[in-house]
Amino acid sequence: MIEVKEIHSKADIKKFVLFQIELYKNNDCFVPPIIKDEVNIFNPQVNQVYKNADSWLFLAYKNGKIVGRVAALINHIEINEQKKPKMRFGWLDMIDDIEVTKALLNKVHEIGKEKNLEYVEGPVGFSNMDKAGMLVEGFDELSTMITWYNFPYYKEHMEQLGYTKSADWVEFKFTPPNPIPEKFNKFADLISRRYKLRALEFKSIKDVEPYVNEMFELLNQTYSKLVTYVPIQQYQIDLYKEKYLPFINPDYLECVVDENDKLVAFAITMPSFSRALQKAKGKLFPFGFMHLLRAKKKNDRAAFYLIGIHPKLQGKGVTAMMFRNVSRNFIDKGITLCETNPELEDNIAVQALWKDYDPTLHKRRRLYRKDLV
């Protein structure tokens, strides 16, 4: 018999986090989160997203053993300001037993109906800055620190339970050009002169900090028209600064400003921390942070994490300036493989950024939907 329990205590929330790590402990593609950070996601005293959101956490038990987990989520900005009567779910993991999946998602449905919402979507987090999407292609590809990994049977369970595709995210991998084609250099210089733009250089994280708020403002402007987008709030910006700034190597950050020194475009790339996080096994101490430091300094793999371009300059070739500098950096750092972050499959403008790199679509993630009737 399957029993689903709502959990509240810190001890149970830690079990909630550890279940995924235990489920995938022998999987070479799974990248574990930092346990402390993952627990803090569900702490309203730490995660200020709870100013505009609610969550309900559930663990499924079978014969006294934990066999699944799910988070039911409500984003009140999405419901009240964007008028989307949506119930969210995320952090869905379970053994290969469809009855476990059904029991967990039924709890999400119950809350959605109780709150008079019209449909449920997931897996997603609280906002667009959280992990999202169920892996439906690319199960043999190494995951990243900003994406979820899951077994193929998850997709089968969702479809058997009547969930349908709401949207897909795609990810690409490519080999950075070496040497940089001369046409890249010429075009980048042309765009710089035409729009009176210049690239910034950063020597330390301290140099980056004054621009972080502008980056998130630019993200809101860049993606505001996408159907799944919920504007990023200041308290979320503060949280992500604390969470991700330590991972950023300033050499991998490209920013472009206009003639008034206003930020108009940026690209955040990072060396891959996937193998380092696997070695850390969810813990920074006593040795986990050493693996991360090594990955930050020496790596042959990198990833594009965030790209923002002011709407007035989208499609004008500004990315050529950033990518020219990014490519130079990849050559200097010995990067031989790069991958993109998840991007909506119908976001043709973003996918066009990679066309000159001969990209391979290697992962696909799905947002599932079901009406609450």
The per-residue pLDDT for range 164-201, each reduced to its tens digit, is: 999 999 999 999 888 888 888 888 899 999 999 999 88
> Which of 20-24, 46-50, 200-204, 249-253 shows the highest mean pLDDT?
20-24
Tell me: pLDDT of 79 over 90. yes
What is the model's pLDDT at position 108? 98
Q: Is the separation of the CB atoms in 365 and 158 below 8 Å?
A: no
What is the model's pLDDT at position 67? 98
Q: What is the DSSP letter of 263?
A: E
Tell me: pLDDT of 44 over 90. yes
Q: What is the rounded CA–CA span in Å between residue 240 and residue 131?
A: 13
What is the model's pLDDT at position 183? 81
The tokens for 226 are 């996408």
User: pLDDT-based confidence at 134, cuts 50/70/90?
Assistant: very high
Tell me: pLDDT of 9 over 80. yes
What is the model's pLDDT at position 203? 84
Tell me: pLDDT of 24 over 90. yes
The tokens for 262 are 């206003």
Q: Give the phi and the psi of residue 336 in degrees, each rounded to 5.
A: -115, -10
Average pLDDT, the chain: 91
Tell me: pLDDT of 352 over 80. no
The candidate with the shortest Cα–Cα distance to 365, out of 345, 337, 340, 339, is 345
Share of the chain above pLDDT 90, in %: 60
Q: Is the separation of the CB atoms in 10 and 18 below 8 Å?
A: no
Q: Is the separation of the CB atoms in 179 and 312 below 8 Å?
A: no
Q: What is the rounded CA–CA span in Å between residue 322 and residue 12?
A: 45
The candidate with the shortest Cα–Cα distance to 246, out of 265, 273, 267, is 273
The per-residue pLDDT for range 210-229, each reduced to its tens digit, is: 888 888 888 888 776 665 66
Which residues have a Cβ under 8 Å from the Cβ of 127 and sit 6 or more positions away?
49, 53, 75, 230, 232, 233, 236
What is the model's pLDDT at position 6? 98
What is the model's pLDDT at position 358? 87
Q: Give the phi and the psi of residue 83 in degrees, each rounded to 5.
A: 60, 45
Q: Could you give all domains of the chain from N- to C-terminal order, each with its CATH number?
A: 2-170 (3.40.630.30), 176-357 (3.40.630.30)
For residue 154, which amino acid is it?
Y
Higher pLDDT pick, 168 / 127 = 168
Q: Is the separation of the CB atoms in 320 and 184 below 8 Å?
A: yes
Q: What is the rounded CA–CA span in Å between residue 274 and residue 259?
A: 38
The per-residue pLDDT for range 281-327, each reduced to its tens digit, is: 999 888 888 999 899 888 999 988 888 888 888 888 888 888 888 88
